[in-house]
């Protein structure tokens, strides 16, 4: 399979055709080898229009959703970004091509280790990964110009709002465990927050102190 051709078609047919116009995001999606972030048996499906399992009851998000969430951050290139849910490491890799530094938190150690190995093989050196409760963010490195959350939350964790820089953007799915609304929150200079609803989506649950409890997961 010619992965470069599949990747180009993915960007043209699944992402650009649906309205994602950020040229830097399209370029990043065109260059990051998505097939390396899934199991060998699923690599032929890596550029399809769907999420895929990555083990530990987690998924790699649909390419269009990765692009849409990334574009919603409106990145310029000099930002420090917080990602919640490293997962496969694919979204992390896309972000790393677009910002100065990515700080990523993953609660499942085996996923964090696997992602770190792939990212190191790709020589993506502007990424810090920490194993822990993603719902409380990464206070030691705050504030962040952007926060991207790759899991569905019942509400907006206050820790994210506290760690968002003025003018910064938080993009996360908010809703119940079956369906969420992709939401963007912008921290304004007067201390307030502007909230926008972008689209319907479905993500795995955000588990932790300010998210869902493990016991509540159906």
Q: 191: pLDDT confidence band, cut at 50, 70 and 90?
A: confident
pLDDT tier at 46 (50, 70, 90 boundaries)?
very high
Tell me the pLDDT tens digit for each residue of 110-137.
999 999 999 999 999 999 999 999 999 9
Tokens of 99: 């910002």
Region 73-78: mean pLDDT is 98
35 φ, ψ (degrees, to nearest 5): -65, -25
**What radius of gyration do the chain's Cα atoms show?**
16
pLDDT score at 203: 95
For the segment 55-59, the average pLDDT, to the nearest whole number, is 92
Bridge pairing between strands 180-187 and 144-149? unpaired
Q: Tell me which of 4, 30, 61, 88 is the catalytic residue.
A: 61
Give me the mean pLDDT over the 152-172 stretch: 97
With bands split at pLDDT 50, 70 and 90, how would you rate the model's confidence at 109?
Answer: very high
Q: How many domains does the chain have?
A: 1
pTM of the model: 0.96
218: confidence class by pLDDT, cuts 50, 70, 90: low
Domain that holds residue 59: 3-216
For the chain, the average pLDDT equals 96
CB neighbours of 174 closer than 8 A, spacing ≥ 6? 152, 153, 154, 155, 156, 180, 181, 183
pLDDT of residue 198: 97
* CATH code, 101: 3.40.50.150
In the annotation, is 61 catalytic?
yes
Q: What is the DSSP letter of 13?
A: I
């Amino acid at each position: 399979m010619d992965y470069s051709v599949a990747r180009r078609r993915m960007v043209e047919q699944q992402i650009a055709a649906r309205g994602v116009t950020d040229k830097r995001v399209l370029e990043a999606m065109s260059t990051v080898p998505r097939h390396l972030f899934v199991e060998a048996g699923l690599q032929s499906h890596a550029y399809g229009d769907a999420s895929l399992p990555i083990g530990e009851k987690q998924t790699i998000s649909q390419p269009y959703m990765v692009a849409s969430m990334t574009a919603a951050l409106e990145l310029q290139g000099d930002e420090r970004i917080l990602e919640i849910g490293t997962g496969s490491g694919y979204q992390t890799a896309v972000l790393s091509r677009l910002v100065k530094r990515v700080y990523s938190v993953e609660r499942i150690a085996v996923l964090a280790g696997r992602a770190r190995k792939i990212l190191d093989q790709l020589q993506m050196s502007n990424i810090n990964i920490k194993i822990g409760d993603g719902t409380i963010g990464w206070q030691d490195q705050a504030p962040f110009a952007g926060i991207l959350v790759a899991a569905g939350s019942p509400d907006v964790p206050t820790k994210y709002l506290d760690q968002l820089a003025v003018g910064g953007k938080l993009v996360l799915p908010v809703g119940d465990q079956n369906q969420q609304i992709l939401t963007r929150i912008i921290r304004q200079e007067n201390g307030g927050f502007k909230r926008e609803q972008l689209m319907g989506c479905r993500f795995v649950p955000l588990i932790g102190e300010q998210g869902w409890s493990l016991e509540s997961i159906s």
